[in-house]
A = this chain, B = another copy of it.
Amino acid sequence: MSRRLVLAAAQMGPIQKAEGRDVAVGRMVRLMETAHRRGAEVVVFPELALTTFFPRWYHEDLAEADHWYETALPSNATAPLFEAARKFNIGFHLGYAERTPDGHRFNTAVYVHPSGEVVLKYRKVHLPGHAEYEPTRTVQHLEKRYFEVGNLGFPVVRAPVGETSVNIGMMICNDRRWPEAWRVLGLQQVELVMLGYNTPSLNMENRGFEAHHLRVFHSHLSIQAGCYQNACFAAGVAKAGDEDGHELFGHSIIVNPQGEIMAQATSWGDELIVADCDLGMCALGRSTIFNFEKHRRTEAYGRITAQTGSVAPPEWRPGER
């Protein structure tokens, strides 16, 4: 029997700083309704989907930023998402800023079963940017200020998604550029990676080498390679458009285990893309070219876990061997 999943990626247009969660949640419920009409069994929303991408705003006192974080899920503001999940019998992935009861702050994502139960939680490991205000930067990127490094690793769980059970895992935004993140999920037989992002269209700190048009290419390249090399599907989902004067790119995609793009958003607004995923495809790579047990050579990989930064290589001198 073939295992199939109708997967939806719900790209969102911008959320302005002045807008409350009710505006975003209302739009998300409409996207879930659309997903239901398109026959989707799961909807993937972006990173920090309830608010503007607030790490671009500096606060000296972290407490002044507290209103950007969720302290409970569901809350009054997010309850309509859980109601819609039940009503439409559809699971959803949500990215949000999490503040724990004991005061820790994470960039977090959850997968919620249609029953409203949280199946899987992930906290972002690869935080880009910086922790202190940088006066030379045109735009601040303060993720290292507002979030701690995720402390849950890269968990995978086998859970009911639609009518089948699927090995699900997550990444958030910058994680997608790190092959280590993909591989840790692949080593747990992940079949579907849910991945939200907020990525600026322009590299404001450009030092002359990275053409702006390459930014979408780099995002797709990383996701496509990750899917191919780990024989999994992914939904890479953007918050896009002009957010408080700062442009985020869209081009959300659903990718198959061959690294092919199955569906792509082409607007900068709220847009639903859907793909019919044959989960049997994951088995091909996993049992042939990427049969890890047969082909991986961990004795040659030591540096990956033994050292964090890079080291300069030795210099060759003629006559030496």
A residues whose Cβ falls under 8 Å from a Cβ of B:
113, 115, 117-120, 125-128, 149-150, 153-160, 165, 167, 174, 177-184, 186-190, 205, 207, 209-211, 214, 217-218, 221-222, 224-225, 228-229, 257-260, 280-281, 284, 286, 288-298, 300-316, 318-319, 321
Contact = CB atoms under 8 A, between A and B. Distances in A.
A184 B308 contact: no
Contacts of A310: 186-189, 286, 292-293
12 contacts: A150-B300, A154-B300, A157-B314, A159-B316, A179-B179, A181-B300, A190-B313, A214-B258, A218-B259, A298-B306, A301-B304, A305-B305
A189 B218 CA distance: 20
A308 B288 CA distance: 15
Nearest to A205: B288
Given A150-B300, A298-B306, 11 more contacts: A125-B300, A128-B289, A149-B297, A158-B315, A177-B229, A178-B229, A179-B179, A207-B284, A218-B259, A221-B225, A305-B305
Contact of A298 (B229, B298, B308): B308
A183 B186 contact: no
Given A154-B300, A305-B305, A311-B188, A289 B221 contact: no
Contact of A126 (B181, B217, B297): B297
A186 to B, nearest CB: 7
A318 B218 contact: no
B308 A305 contact: no
Contacts of A221: 221, 224-225, 228, 259
Given A125-B297, A229-B178, A120 B303 contact: no
